[in-house]
Amino acid sequence: MSLTLHYHPLSSYCWKALIALYENDTPFTPHMVNLGDPDQRAALLGLWPIGKFPVLQDDARSEVVPESSIVIEYLDRHYPGVTRFIPDGDLGLKTRLRDRFFDLHLHAHMQTIIGDRLRPAGAKDPHGVTEAESKLRIALDMIESGMADHQWAMGDAFTLADCAAFPPLFYSNKVLPFAKTHPGASAYLGRLQARPSVARVLKEAEPYLHMFPQE
């Protein structure tokens, strides 16, 4: 098996890559990385000095591919399956834009809130959390209006954008529950959770979800 994914099953960006791999039943070897272990951390840094996962290693092509969006595009190009994650032409450009929207305007603010929960008592940033919550609501407003007549983020086809949408929507719903305020976004989250590739990712994450920081 030429593909190895270096990952952790609680990581939201790893979920994004895993959804794509499971969507097409792409054969790969999962390698869970414990960043608390110095040797495992050093091995990951040897592959990608930024030290973040996921990182896809392709021995057949002698490639190391970091960053979840790039991992999915790499799979789409070199290991295509029934689900094509990036459409051709202008729709492909719009799909990449939607991917960036979910990462930068939903995922990032969700992570700011969660990151603050991990800070020691004297280092909390309530202003930063309030600002992140406000920006998160704006993003949810945009998803709400954008999903009014869509099954998936780009219409009828499941794409890169949907892989990007599920992790931050799932975790955002934990830090800023939106079922009552954004029913369309909540219904979209429900459709995502019911998709077999996504359900598999969640099932594998279950043993680790107790590590999620509560308030």
How far is 107 from 120, CA to CA, in rounded Å? Answer: 22
CA distances from residue 83 to 156, 173, 197 in whole angstroms, order as listed? 12, 27, 11
Share of the chain above pLDDT 90, in %: 88
Write the CB contacts of 40 (distance below 8 Å, at least 6 apart in sequence).
33, 34
Average pLDDT over residues 9-37: 96
214 pLDDT exceeds 80?
no
215 pLDDT exceeds 80?
no
Where do you find CATH 1.20.1050.10 in the chain? 89-211
The per-residue pLDDT for range 194-205, each reduced to its tens digit, is: 999 999 999 999
Q: In the sheet where 3-7 sits, what is the strand order? A: 29-32, 3-7, 55-58, 63-66
**Main-chain phi, psi angles of 201, to 5 degrees:** -60, -45
For domain 89-211, say whether CATH 3.40.50.1370 is its number. no
Average pLDDT over residues 148-157: 93
Tell me what pLDDT residue 146 has. 86
Phi-psi region at 97: left, alpha or beta (left = phi > 0; alpha = psi -120 to 50) = alpha
At the topology level, CATH places domain 3-78 in Glutaredoxin (3.40.30)
How far is 90 from 119, CA to CA, in rounded Å? Answer: 42
Compute the mean pLDDT over every residue in the chain, rounded to the nearest whole number. Answer: 95
Contact 188, 169 (CB under 8 A): yes
Tell me what pLDDT residue 1 has. 64
Other beta carbons within 10 angstroms of residue 143's beta carbon come to: 26
Q: What is the pTM of this model?
A: 0.95
Tell me what pLDDT residue 7 has. 97
The per-residue pLDDT for range 28-69, each reduced to its tens digit, is: 999 999 999 999 999 999 999 999 999 999 999 999 999 999
Length of the chain: 215
Contact 48, 100 (CB under 8 A): no
Where do you find CATH 3.40.30.10 in the chain? 3-78
Average pLDDT over residues 148-160: 94
Average pLDDT over residues 108-133: 91
